[in-house]
Amino acid sequence: MTRALFIVDVQNDFTEHGALGVAGGDEVAERISRYLAAHASEYEIVVASRDWHDGDNDNGGHFAPEGPDFIDTWPVHCVGGTFGADYDEGFDTTAVTHHLKKGQGKPAYSLFEGVGDDGVTAAVLLEQHGIHDIDVVGLATDYCVRASALDALAAGRGVRVFSDLVAGVHPESSAAALAELAAAGAEVEPAQA
């Protein structure tokens, strides 16, 4: 197997009950769990990322609690060690082989900006495991899923984004992100559940 599954930021703060909840986030978490139950064995590695921001600073201007623009600045979210940073309860992480944390003290959107507790990065994992193709799912379509898939393409990998295993902040920007990814060479299609 030379395929990896990247699961982006399926966290409480990005699902309905969180600081930056997206519509359909809980449902996507549950769908990803069902997909993993049926397909985890098809992947060499299953990598899940989480925003893991510092709680005592603005994370390089990423947090703007008084007046976020919801483009580059955001309300406080996914502070490491809090409920908001935890994986959504509907996401069964049993099949996840690697966990990466991103945004520690700085803005970070792509899973490729994450690092494991052991210091490993996504780029290192891809090389170590001989990964040629990456499937991308998670939250949010128009931000972190988009950034992760674009970085996977830039790394020369074949990329599929499963359109039924993502949810975004805005319908228009999510549709634009999927169109951009398709134009950049990603396959955008529903998962084969």
Tokens 């020369």 belong to residue: 156
CA angle 45, 46, 50 (to 5 degrees): 135
**Choosing from 9, 13, 51, 142, which is the catalytic residue?**
9
Residue 102 is among the residues annotated as catalytic for this protein: yes
- Name the catalytic one among 26, 78, 88, 144: 144
Concerning whether 144 is annotated as a catalytic residue, the answer is yes
Ordered alpha helix ranges (H), 59-137: 122-128
Out of 101, 102, 142, 151, pick the active-site residue: 102
Q: Using alpha carbons, select from 51, 56, 61 the residue that is nearest to residue 19.
A: 51
Strand order in the sheet with 187-189: 98-102, 45-51, 3-8, 133-139, 158-167, 187-189
Contact by Cβ (8 Å): 158, 47: no
Amino acid present at 130: G
Catalytic residue list: 9, 102, 144
